[in-house]
Copies of this chain bind each other. A is one copy, B any other.
Amino acid sequence: MGLIVQKYGGTSVADLERIRHVAKRVARTYADGHDVVVILSAMSGVTDSLIEMAHNASPDPDKRELDVLLATGEQTTSALLAMMLCQDGYPAQSLLGHQAEVVTDRVYGNARILEIGAGRLRELLAKRKIVVVAGFQGVDIKGNITTLGRGGSDTSAVAIAAALEASVCEIYTDVEGIYTTDPNICSKARKIKQITYDEMLNLASLGAKVLQIRSVGFAKKYNVPVHVRSSFSEEEGTMVVHEDSGMEMLVVSAVTCNKDEARITLKKVPDQPGVAANIFTPISDAGIVVDMIIQNTRASGETDLTFTVPKAEYETALQIEKKVAETIGASCVFGDENIAKVSVVGVGMKNHSGVASIMFNTLARENINISMISTSEIRISCVIEEKYAELAVRVLHTAFGLDSDAG
């Protein structure tokens, strides 16, 4: 009979019918004897509508005021859920970000949580109240409303779970959990029972959009067990936990694929100090986020440099680099939008050699050429031609023994 924090995402509270379904689920948990804190997102689509409204009001909406506007989305769902619970005879009460004392820095639109002053939360829980907290929002020390960025409700939930030392933080979403790969690409994808924070961090940044990456970092830091599961079924989902000797240690836990990036190469860049800065400063000034960077050494004081950027920024980045190339004396700039990044992730990789060679050989057997490679301690990523993405995912999934029996 511990404290359970439950977070429901936008699709789980998309309309009154679904919120009613959430109310039943919360009530059941409470009736089982648990203390319950619920964190809600806005109804799916609402945040986007509010952003659109803001842009219709002002081409470049003031960031402080945008957060005031966006915060209404979670305020609405929280009040509605609390009403439904009260109607059914459960002692529910909503709290907004400032009432739950979710204190953040003042980076409007992408604020970081500094502290959860859990006094009021504890007081309500001590009275056996069900507390419904508006996710995604906080307050700076001056009392200004802030929001935590896309997917910020996950971070709200994990941070509140950490502050209250909850026994688990359940993240309810529209999928059954974390899969070994995208089931839409590979029919043999399997739901993962347990995954480590580090694996999840690598998956999240590679395009598995189930959990906001910052929430995973938070969960790791404060050791909050996270249970990712579906609000539409009773099935157990995926537990995200610390690495544990008792865990089933797969060498590779998952295969992911990201087709949202494009590649840009500068040829024959003079191999001198300061050149990389010349190349990336204007990109960063334009607000473009660079993902992979690879530099190959060539003979004779020249080098080739390749990096990837989001497809939406490809043309802008290409134009910027054409100017840069003239300045620094690179021979030419070219790029490719038709690429995909395929990655394998797994903590088991740390103690096993040979993962890279299995990956490269598997791709080679299908005549898939690798144009870029990057690695982290528990991840290997290859950039390949976009048209081979699905095939690569399927053959790697099989090669690393992830296929389900059912598939």
**Chain B residue contacts of A82, Cβ below 8 A:** 62, 64-65, 68
Give complex CA distance A75, B79 in Å. Answer: 15
Question: How far apart sit A304 and B65, CA to CA, in the bound complex (Å)?
Answer: 61
Whether B62 lies near A69 (C-beta < 8 A) is no
Q: Do A75 and B71 have beta carbons less than 8 Å apart?
A: yes
- A65–B75 Cα distance when bound, in Å, is 10
Please state if B76 and A94 are interface contacts (CB–CB under 8 Å). no
Q: Which residue of B lies closest to A59 (CB)?
A: B87
Query: Does A258 belong to the interface (CB within 8 Å)?
Result: no
Is there an interface contact between A143 and B75, defined as CB atoms closer than 8 Å?
A: no
Within 8 Å of chain B (Cβ to Cβ): is A93? yes
Is A252's CB within 8 Å of the partner chain B? Answer: no
Is B62's CB under 8 angstroms from A86's CB? yes
Q: List the B side residues contacting A80 at CB < 8 Å.
A: 53-54, 57, 65, 69
Collect the chain B residues with CB atoms within 8 Å of residue A72's CB.
72, 75-76
| A19: interface (CB < 8 Å) | yes
Contacting residue for A58 out of B53, B83, B96, B98, CB 8 A: B83
Residues on B with C-beta less than 8 A from A96 are: 68, 145
Query: Which residues of B are found within 8 Å of A329, using beta-carbon distances?
Result: none
Chain A residues numbered 139-155 whose CB sits less than 8 Å from any CB in chain B: 143, 145
Which size class do A's interface residues fall under? 35 or more
What is the copy number of this chain in the assembly? 2
**A56 interface residue per 8 A CB criterion:** yes
Contact residues of A: prevailing secondary structure: helix
Determine if A16 and B143 form an interchain contact, defined as CB atoms under 8 angstroms apart: no
* Complex-state Cα separation, A101 to B93, whole angstroms: 22
- 8 Å CB interface, A60-99 against B: 60-62, 64-66, 68-69, 71-72, 75-76, 78-80, 82-84, 86-87, 92-94, 96, 98-99
Q: Are A57 and B143 in contact (CB under 8 A)?
A: no
Taking CB atoms, residues of chain B closer than 8 Å to A60 are 87
Which chain B residue has the least Cβ–Cβ distance from A78? B68
Which residues of the partner chain B approach A86 to less than 8 Å between Cβ atoms?
58, 61-62, 65
Of the candidates B16, B54, B120, the one whose C-beta lies within 8 Å of that of A53 is B16
Residue from B66, B68, B84, B120 in contact with A57 in the complex, judged by beta carbons closer than 8 Å? B84
List CB contacts (< 8 Å) of A346-393 with chain B. Answer: none
Chain B residues contacting A64 (CB-CB under 8 Å) are: 82, 93
What's the Cα separation between A334 and B61 when bound, in Å?
61
Are B56 and A16 neighbours in the complex by a CB distance under 8 Å? yes
Given A72-B72, A75-B71: A83 touches B54 (CB 8 Å cut-off) = yes
Q: Give the residues from 87 to 122 in chain A that come closer than 8 angstroms, CB to CB, to chain B.
A: 87, 92-94, 96, 98-99, 120
A145 proximity list for chain B (CB < 8 A):
96
Q: Smallest distance from the beta carbon of A135 to chain B beta carbons, Å?
A: 14
Q: Which residue of B has the minimal Cβ distance to A75? A: B72
Enumerate chain B residues within 8 angstroms of A61, measured Cβ to Cβ.
Answer: 83, 86-87
Residues of B within 8 A of A93 (CB): 64-65
Distance in angstroms between the alpha carbons of A311 and B202 in the assembled complex: 67
Residues of chain B lying within 8 A (CB to CB) of residue A76: 69, 72
Q: Can you name the residue of chain B whose Cβ is closest to the Cβ of A139?
A: B99
Question: B99 to A143, Cβ gap below 8 A?
Answer: yes
Contact status A66-B87, CB under 8 Å: no
A-B contact pairs, 13 of them (CB 8 A): A16-B53, A54-B80, A58-B83, A58-B87, A61-B83, A61-B87, A65-B92, A68-B75, A68-B79, A68-B94, A68-B96, A72-B76, A98-B98
